[in-house]
Structure 1
Amino acid sequence: GAGAAGTAAGTSATGAASQGLLASTTAKVALGVAATVLVAGGATGVRHFTASPAKPRPRPTPSAAPTVQLVAARQCKVTGPLGDDQTPRGAPAKVRTAVRLPAGAAVYRFDKGVYVVGPAGRTCSGSSGNSSAGTTIGRGAAAGSVFTYAPFSIGSFNISTCQYFPDSPEAAKIRREAQCTSDLRVRRPLDLGRPSPKMMVGLNPPTTEAKPASPYVAVVLGVLNGGSLTCRLLAAQADVCTAALTFGVERATAGKPLTPAAVAAVQRQIADAVAASKR
């Protein structure tokens, strides 16, 4: 009887000890937990297990918040519809921008309030006519260029709408009365974090001019009911195209400015499109 009782007690103690260890493992008991274990002769002993101290986790380095900066601009010659000189007088004012300008990029001024980012040290000019105006930074296919187009007339607005937003309600309205087509194959809508204005980035816009030697990038920023900005540069200056289009977005939303964080988000979208346009 006593032996049976001892055996039962031993079995009970063993079961309790096993449950205690399992519970400790499952609950991942912290420092200084005493685990009871069965030892020879039915006696029990206490062993202390000390968990290894947790290794400190490295803290991520905080990234610098986007900031607005003042950037000096270079004045370009502007001619009117009759070839007359319409270049603004006086030194161009510095421009406030949240766009990160890479090395090799510069801000150019054309008319008052008309600023464009392009490759530094290039020739530049602007002109206006009865139905549209344009600016150009850089000449010649070998080095590429950045140019803008601003429609004035209903006809030129319609052409831009059909080219860059052929699936829009505005294009559908034009199509009911006139031809409305686009030869721009790849278009990516830009998310500004708000519904308007509508913008898109087109990859490899068609051109009748000679193209730079490969590898190069070519993208166009289109603004619904607005103008466009095309950047075609050698791949080594892809970041200049990214800055040029992002700056174009910033200028097009100047009436209701984007936050620096929103500008940074737009710049990332444009950078992806520029990289995808590489040829």
Structure 2
Amino acid sequence: MSVEDLLIHFIYSEEDEQVRHNRQYFLPGEEMKGLVSLHLRTGVRTRGLTIHFLGMATVSWESPKKRKVYQASEIYLESAKPLLDIGYDSYVDLPSGLHQFGFRYQLPTNLPSTFNGVYGQVTYIAKVKLECEDERDTTITSEPFMVLRRPELSPEIYDEKTIKKSKFFVGLTTGKVKVECTIDKSAAIPGDNIAINAEVCNWTGKEISLIQASMILESHYFAEGHEIVFRQYLSKRDDVYDVSTFRGRRWRNVLLPVPPYLPDSSLEHCKIMTLRYVFQFKVRTIPFAASLVDDFKCR
């Protein structure tokens, strides 16, 4: 084999190194830039060097009762660009050593965000093919890349929001659990924190065994006229103390971290999947539980 390495490197930003390191994704409508590195042990005669850009969504789940698999797919990106200008039915001799080829590609504006779920995913891949006269030297490599939408959020998103609940638990003869929770914003900003202030009062005859704040992703998948839903925790924060009978507990600026790489709410421009982000503040007495739930936007 004459080819030692064939690698794809993406350039996410023209700014300083720290910005490039933190970014690690492309925006819809942005010009993608990168570099293909070809390291040859010995010289080769090549018919072409081409980069392909592929983007698609797939959904699949099995219904054991119906003995059926539901499937759906969409294609968002399917394009190719030559990296070597060889011409029709011609060859180019490449000597041994390192060869590098820059590339640019204008991404469409209507791409959905990259997403990897239990029953479906949106994926983007760059693939490079080196086609040689000697087929034993023909080499293909691929590298995934992320696309994330970052829609503008209204200023009201950054206003504090308070949610309250007071509940009697069936089976308990005395008292309520009273919960009041305030969050500093009603949006999830990837890589940021949500500041939580809360007060829990326990007037029941049972100990409170759990106080928990969490961010939940609810993903919906559609195929062949059917839908399946999956809920998963993205982040959670538990209180380390139990709350005994007729006692209370306060949270003051407790931080709930938001994961750094999240797709936008609703997964815009994808017709076979949609997303919903939920903030939940849960209080549990044995064996009962109450939750405060509020929808989140994600940018």
TM-score scaled to structure 1, two decimals?
0.21
Relative to its length, the structure with more helix (as a share) is 1
Relative to its length, the structure with more strand (as a share) is 2
TM-score scaled to structure 2, two decimals?
0.20
Larger relative CO (CA 8 A, sep 6+): 1 or 2?
A: 2
